[in-house]
Amino acid sequence: MGSVGQVTDSTQNTQILLASRPHGEPTAENFEITTSPIPEPGDGEVLLRTIYLSLDPYMRGRMSDAKSYAAPVEVGTVMEGGTVAEVVESRDPSLAVGDIVLSHLGWQAYGVQPARHVRKLDPQRAPVSTAVGVLGMPGFTAYAGLLQIGDPQPGETVVVVAAAAGPVGSTVGQIARIKGARAVGIAGGPDKVAWLEELGFDVALDHRSPTFKDDLSAAVPDGIDVYFENVGGHVWDAVLPRLNTYARVPVCGLVAGYNDTELPAGPDRSGQLMRHVLTKSLTIRGFIQNEFVKAHYKDFQAEASGWIADGSLRYKEDVVEGLDNAPEAFFGLLKGKNFGKLLIQVSDDPTR
């Protein structure tokens, strides 16, 4: 059990606020690190100490006020984010001091939440950090998008995953294989490619290679039946002409374009994209995992826990220590610098 230092100061809270909205790539100036008194829980509430803060690409969207599926973070307020936290004070009978919970405290060291808004975790079942990773939102994004939209069929189906070494992509590829499909993973750099091979992807490709397009063609001689889109950009450009008739494209992220401030130069390829949709009877379907929670979350928890237990679903965490380092780690995430699920260790994990 290592010590994480300054942010565990037990009299002061540390918070990272959205200081201004980024124009293009976010910078340190868009964030403000402040301290304030630790808040007091009211009736039915708990005071929580953040152990892990999850950093995820969707947060780039919350920094902007462009219309999206969720409201933006207001300037001057705490950046939002999923957290694994320890109960340090409880004013609700359902939770006791020392309980570890999944919560949504955002980028801060302490926070108060209604007890009914958090979910108690069982450290015996899986490491608690997985509640914001393979057994949490990223894992469920992979599970729901792949199975409900991608619907891979055993045997002939090829699943191509962009950002395959990320927490979503690595789960998509492994579930595709569990379901009997052939998984081709695409990631950036030899380390990530090597890890995909270790995970059992049938083929792993480096999208930074100068021969990437040809490598992809060689990897999918029968075309692509499911493409799990979480990146956009040049990977999508390479995939689109290789999609088969009736191919399905679940779209859960487009990180390559998150920092764009204006439309790229022409020609305008939007009509060409629609022509692919028409001539190949493609399904392109955007989604946010929330949509599937009610119908499929319980199944996911049961299935994914089983796969983790039997070794068929593996995951990797990229843990950065110290809340102060969250902005820098987040910038790296948007550039694909993380390797595995990116977590900020805000304070010690008492279960390890």
**Strands 100-103, 158-161: parallel, antiparallel or unpaired by DSSP?**
unpaired
- Nearer of residues 267 and 311 to a second copy, judged by Cβ: 267
119 in contact with a second copy (CB under 8 A): no
Shortest Cβ 66–a second copy spacing (Å): 8
Distance separating alpha carbons of residues 73 and 188, to the nearest angstrom: 30
Interface with a second copy, residue 281, by CB under 8 A: yes
- The yes or no reply on residue 253 touching a second copy (CB under 8 A) is yes
From candidates 22, 72, 286, 340, binder to a second copy by CB under 8 A: 286
Q: Which is nearer to a second copy, 1 or 278 (CB)?
A: 278
- Position 251 contacts a second copy (CB under 8 A): yes
Binding a second copy by CB under 8 A: which of 37, 93, 154, 271? 271
Among 21, 104, 280, 337, binds a second copy (CB under 8 A): 280
Indicate which single residue of 33, 75, 112, 277 sits in contact with a second copy (rule: CB under 8 A). 277
Residue 172 or 252: the one with the smaller Cβ distance to a second copy is 252
Q: Among the candidate windows 46-54, 121-129, 201-209, 280-288, which touches a second copy by CB under 8 A?
A: 280-288
Binding residues for a second copy, rule: CB under 8 A, are: 61, 67-69, 229, 232-233, 236, 245-246, 251-254, 257, 260, 262-288, 291
